[in-house]
Homo-oligomer: A and B are copies of this chain.
């Protein structure tokens, strides 16, 4: 019997976006899909290469991190996903990758400013880079503390207005209303990170877009008067 067939399919399909869009190699990265009514999320098993990953490998975990269904160990990053689901209540999917440009900004400890409309189409805010986790947090429950650090970073930022974060010295986490939206955001983040890198090399003193332009582009795609896409 397989109680979470659909959820596991959704998680599997979203995980397969990672190799498709070259966001990570080998076993790196992981995506989860959440079923809030059931109080569980489905996540990639730890250390399984994408070219061997099948829907039945996906592990279902509850919000305490207990395995509900599945025979494999879940991703070692599972507690980070758990904390985000607990705190960001409208999030239905989370993606973590090691895509190179986003990782480089995270390693450089720099937030990605809104340099252009490609970024503003997706968020009117910089992609924040967290502080570096302190020693106590790392030596405690490290992956859970990573989630807590992200939540703290968003204490003054709406997690719905900005669905991307860079964990300092580590790499990107993205989320969305469902798993596919979170991987979409991971692909967009890598593209934005690449563009922003080249931009800073071409113009080290480059400024962020003026607010009026950032807001305009963001509102084309979001909010009550959005007019991008089909009705």
Contacts of A184 in B (CB 8 A): 26
Cα separation A209 to B167 with both chains bound (whole Å): 12
Name the distance in Å between A203's Cβ and chain B's nearest Cβ: 4
Interface stretch (choices A3-11, A60-68, A84-92, A108-116) = A108-116
Stoichiometry (number of copies): 4
Residue of B whose beta carbon sits closest to that of A206: B108
A209-B169 CB under 8 A given contacts A25-B187, A200-B202: yes
Cα of A195 to Cα of B194 in the assembled complex, Å = 11
Q: Which residue of B lies closest to A118 (CB)?
A: B98
- Interface stretch, picked from A31-39, A131-139, A155-163, is A131-139
Across-interface contacts of A138 in B (CB, < 8 A) = 212-213, 216
CA distance A172 to B103 in the complex (A): 22
A135–B212 touching, CB < 8 Å:
yes
The listed residue (B45, B116, B142, B230) touching A171 by CB distance below 8 A is: B116
Q: Please tell me if the beta carbons of B109 and A206 are within 8 angstroms of each other in the complex.
A: yes
Interface positions of A from 193 to 219, Cβ below 8 Å from B: 194-203, 206, 209-210, 212-213, 216
A72 touches B230 (CB 8 A): yes
B139 engages A116 (CB within 8 Å): no
- A20-31 interface bits toward B, Cβ cutoff 8 Å, 1 = contact, 0 = none: 000001111000
Q: How far is the CA of A98 from the CA of B195 in the complex (A)?
A: 10
* A223 at interface by CB-CB < 8 Å: no
Q: A interface vs B, CB < 8 Å?
A: 25-28, 45-48, 72-73, 76, 98, 100-101, 103-110, 115-118, 132-133, 135, 138-139, 142, 169-171, 184, 187-188, 191, 194-203, 206, 209-210, 212-213, 216, 220, 227-231
